[in-house]
Chain A
Amino acid sequence: MTDDTPILPEPLEQTLERTLRATTLHGDERRRVEGELRAYFEDALAAGVSVSEIMREFGDPELGGALIKRSPPRRRSPAQTSVLRAAQIATAFTAVLLVSIYGATAVRFRSFAREPADISPWLDTIAKVAARAPTWRASLSAAGPAANSRARIHQIGVAVGAVRQTASLGDPFSMLISARVARDIVDAADAVLRDSALTLGDRKDLAARLNALASTTAHRVEAREILEWFDHLVERSFDADGRLTATGLRVAQAMKGARQPSLTARALEPIFFARADDARSARASARRLVASNEIQVHRGALWSTMVVEHINTGLEAQATVAQRLPELIARVRR
């Protein structure tokens, strides 16, 4: 109702209000119904009909409102209504189709399957390592150029401890992850050595930590070991028909640091792994890619891409550390 709308006698205003409330309409639709009912009352009053007679003819406001609610005024033209209806049908059809595809892939990839008990401890380990590695690496960059050398040497010490602990787990994945952290340590140590104000004590301290790192990284993982490990993973990750297994999914999750995949992750897995590769092509890809040091497996083979990416990045980091660490240790002793 606007300010210039004529006020109806109180009983009719109340009847109007009760009717509108019963329609449960809002916005333009409500305004339109209010305008029409108000006009209806005004016309009846102008025709000399008494308020009581209008109300008697009007009947039960709640019933009237409910009937209008069932057939509200439409703001859309019949053509617009048809288009909207077609769009609704198309949306519903698409939703059903997507749910069906999702359901089929969820069953195929066993998204909600129970985790195989025999590999649980191993998955725990790789998930723990994958989850912690970014924190160790971040702590090194957090103590970056602005920090004083003593603080950076302390962070290097913490990271060396993490590398030793991770590498001691013994499996290739842990060793490759620890190689990536070791490479960040080398970068951080290089920055510390550029500090002209470095004291003799700081140098000794840094040398001790770099020596500890050198003893840990002395054993390098060979491509042959990696491929054997990869084959073992593939064996567990694909079934006889070449389809990804629940283990394969858990391995992929663990490599991302997720020990208990969220409901969202489980819901999206079937989409991510819609073309999860198969055992034979995964093996072939790994051999080709480890040899060429690329990380892009053929399009859509997400599982292989992910695992091989870990392998190649780790091997690259390992080579960098082997090359730069002796030179750094020589510099720190000067």
Chain B
Amino acid sequence: MASPLAKVESDLMRGAGPTAVLQLLARQEMYGYELVSKLRDETSGTLAMGHSTLYPLLYNLEAKGLIASKERVAESGRARRYYSLTAAGRKALKLQREQWQSLTGAMVKLGIVAPVAG
């Protein structure tokens, strides 16, 4: 079994990345570097992604209407483009959560993923 700190392969990342980004944006609006930092730190590097993955992903989600962006001045005084979840994005995230739960459940049954204690 792969180490929990191992980086996810690109095929898996393609499926997990959008959900992870939607999940982070469900908490609060964020700009690019903030998203990259949180993804890296909160997943111990497993879902870390560089700009070449992040920005196309953000542009795709925006084109689908799941997120929206707005440029404004950050606390640092620099202009940043902030991304936030739209109503359609919340609906999509809810659906994706359910799908990931059923996928994880299947993986547990197959013994690929260990059941969460408690």
Chain A contact residues, CB within 8 Å of chain B:
32-33, 35-37, 39-40, 42-44, 46-47, 57-60, 63-64, 67-68, 70-74, 77-78, 81
Q: Complex Cα distance A70/B57, Å?
A: 10
Q: CB distance A39 to B80 under 8 Å?
A: yes
A67 and B65 alpha carbons, distance in the complex (Å): 20
Indicate the member of B55, B71, B80 with the most A CB atoms within 10 Å. B55
User: Interface size on B (CB < 8 Å)?
Assistant: 26
Q: Does B56 contact A (CB under 8 A)?
A: yes
Contact B51 A64 (CB under 8 A): yes
**CB <8 Å contact, A37 and B62:** no
Complex: A37 Cα to B36 Cα, angstroms: 12
Q: Mark B52-63, 1 if CB is under 8 A from A, else 0.
A: 110111011011
B99 at interface by CB-CB < 8 Å: no
CB of A59 to closest CB in B, whole Å: 5
Query: Are A78 and B53 in touch, CB under 8 angstroms?
Result: no
Q: Which of B33, B56, B57, B71 contacts A40 (CB 8 A)?
A: B33
Contact residue among A35, A72, A77, A81 (Cβ-Cβ distance under 8 Å from B79): A35
Q: Assuming the A-B contacts A35-B79, A57-B50, A81-B63, are A67 and B33 also in contact, with contact meaning beta carbons closer than 8 angstroms in the complex?
A: no
- Listed by A's residue number, 10 A-B pairs whose Cβ atoms lie within 8 Å are A35-B81, A39-B81, A40-B33, A40-B51, A43-B31, A60-B52, A64-B52, A72-B59, A73-B62, A74-B62
Contacts of B37 in A (CB 8 A): 47
Query: CA A46 – CA B37 in complex, angstroms?
Result: 13
Residues of A within 8 A of B88 (CB): 78
- B50: chain A residues at CB < 8 Å are 57-59, 64
**Contact yes or no, B78 A71, CB < 8 A:** no
